[in-house]
Amino acid sequence: MRLALGTFRPLLALLALAALVPGCQGAGAQVLTHLSVPAPPALSGAQPRLWVALAARLGTSPLVLQAQQGDLSLRDGSGRQLKGQRLSFRWRLQPRPQPLEIRRSVLGPFSSFETAEQAALAWRAQGVDAVVAHPSDWEVWAPSSAKAPAGFTARLDQLSSRQERRLQVSTATGWVDLQEPVSVHAPGGLRWDGGVFAGPFRLQSDAYGSWTLVEQVPLERYLLGVVPHEIGAGSPAAALAAQAVLARTWALGNQHRFVVDGYHLCADTQCQVYSDPRQAGAAVRQAIASTSGQVMAWNNKPIHAVYHASNGGVSANEDEAWRLPELAYLEPQLDRPGGRSPGLSLPLDQPQEIETLLSSGGFYGSAHPYFRWQRVLAQETFRQALGARASALGAPIQPVVLERGPSGRVVRLALKGPGGQVVLERDAIRRTLRKLPSTLFVVESLSDGRWRFRGGGFGHGAGLSQAGAIDLASRGWSLQQILVHYYPGAQLLPLERLPSAKGSGEGS
């Protein structure tokens, strides 16, 4: 058995959910990089249907599905059918017909899908079959013989899988095994997580040996469950419409995000927050209907339609948030009339310029509660954030800005101690120091090893600022004007004008 340091957190998840155990290759075992499941269908046509995971990592506790009205109907891969207002499921461990040996070379963990995908692309450029996975953090998996691409360090995961989780359903005569695929229809709606969803639904296994409850939801209905949770249902009409276009574009461009697990998107903050579509009010429904099928495109492909809560007065380019190739429509700009501010010009690479920005006014979206913010972080905060990495640093730990991007955002931050340093880059800064709303900040030392972070904005800062869009819409800006302002050069196009809806075309 060979397991590198850092394997254990994802390994624990695999042990708990997939009945995988570390071990040496057994006689006759089949060797795989991961448990393979069928990929979801590619999105195509004028009315694509998304496969969205309402719940993942199922398999350790019983599951109950309940209809809002009428009955649920179930059908499995063997043709077995069952109806009931309430269906009860459980999983039992059973021996595999043939033991599986999981051996893979692993890059990561990474702070985001975007960063992991760039690592996967680096491997694929060498002819390596690499996939992005999310066992607990984002990782990239490849055959165990693959050498890490330049600039990356790989570890080896080696696990044995001798058991599998078999899904069972309760019937009048007892528990019976089900065969994939397992489909569930809910004509009167399915109660789930405090809401009601229309479906249809699937129960299916994933790449880790656990299971997922997936809703097959038409794209336009999916937006009803996304738009109000991302920007707020009370936003002005043009801002709601802009959010609808971006949420639609983002979904199309990210349909490959969970392909290794057999579905397109999740329903939480690793994707777009998706909740009960029935709760969408009249204004949200109108925004979605008025933009039906419209997306933002660059060279006839969906753009990388990132957005965030507040840019703090200056938008970021893509490389300040993630290590992505150049995207011409994501450029830094001062977010105010004319794109100019007295005493400020891009790039903002000196702390004094950030100070000037933070003390200036006249920016779009300045009413957002995190447009300006302060945080005081103590030594214990740094140690908790770094976990096991903190012990080698000693005390005290001090934050040191190593590099800023053109918008002034910190792209490399060192946490230094007498014994060394840990360098956080781009999205890893906020993922590690979770009390920081953004990476647009300056740092100053206080007494007793504490540090004050003064900054602006909430989120990564690239693309549309939701606070800015709300402000601009309240000033009478149109949907087209708002989108072109935040994605200069991109076009608002109907979906049927695009030659393909397969991926974003940039970094996909």
- Does residue 395 sit in the same domain as residue 471? no
Whole-number Å distance between alpha carbons of 214 and 65 = 12
In the structure encoding, which two tokens stand for residue 192, read together?
Answer: 């789930």
Task: Name the nearest CA neighbour of 259 among 462, 383, 117, 376.
Answer: 117
Q: What confidence tens digit (pLDDT) does each residue in 420-453 have?
A: 999 999 999 999 999 999 999 999 999 888 999 9
pLDDT score of 28: 57
- Does residue 197 sit in the same domain as residue 268? no
- Does residue 180 sit in the same domain as residue 257? no
Boundary of a domain, candidates 165, 197, 217: 217
Give 67's contacts (C-beta < 8 A, 6+ positions apart).
85, 86, 186, 188, 189, 190, 191
pLDDT score of 158: 92
In the structure encoding, which two tokens stand for residue 228, read together?
Answer: 């109000």
- Does residue 444 sit in the same domain as residue 467? no
Answer yes or no: is 439 within a domain.
yes
The total of other beta-carbon atoms located within 10 Å of residue 437's CB is 22
Answer yes or no: is 330 within a domain.
no
Q: How many residues does the chain have?
A: 508
Give 282's contacts (C-beta < 8 A, 6+ positions apart).
none
- Does residue 190 sit in the same domain as residue 159? yes
CB-count exposure of residue 172 (10 Å: 0-12, 13-18, 19+) = exposed
pLDDT score of 29: 63
pTM: 0.89
- Does residue 188 sit in the same domain as residue 243? no
Cβ pair 134, 258 in contact under 8 A? yes
Boundary of a domain, candidates 197, 217, 237: 217
Cβ pair 239, 465 in contact under 8 A? no
CA–centroid distance for 460 within its chain: 13
Answer yes or no: is 202 within a domain.
yes
Q: What confidence tens digit (pLDDT) does each residue in 2-21 have?
A: 333 333 334 334 433 344 44
Share of the chain above pLDDT 70, in %: 93
Boundary of a domain, candidates 174, 199, 217: 217
Domain of 62?
Answer: 8-217
**Which segments of the chain have a pLDDT < 50?**
1-26, 501-508
- Does residue 248 sit in the same domain as residue 381? no
Buried (b) or exposed (e) across 98-126, using 16+ Cβ within 10 A? ebbbbbbbbbbbbbbbbbbbbbbbbbeee
Whole-number Å distance between alpha carbons of 497 and 508 = 20
Cβ pair 4, 155 in contact under 8 A? yes
- Does residue 295 sit in the same domain as residue 444? no
The DSSP annotation for 214-260 comes to EEEEEHHHHHHTTHHHHH-TTS-HHHHHHHHHHHHHHHHHTTTTTGG
Q: Which helix (H) or strand (E) holds 443?
A: strand 441-445
The total of structural domains in the chain comes to 3
Between the alpha carbon of residue 106 and those of residues 118, 156, 274, the distances in Å are: 14, 6, 30
Cβ pair 451, 444 in contact under 8 A? yes
Q: Taking phi first (over 0 means left), then psi (-120 to 50 degrees means alpha), and beta for anything else, what does residue 111 get? A: alpha
- Does residue 122 sit in the same domain as residue 266? no
- Does residue 444 sit in the same domain as residue 406? yes
Q: What confidence tens digit (pLDDT) does each residue in 147-178 have?
A: 999 999 999 999 888 899 999 999 999 999 99
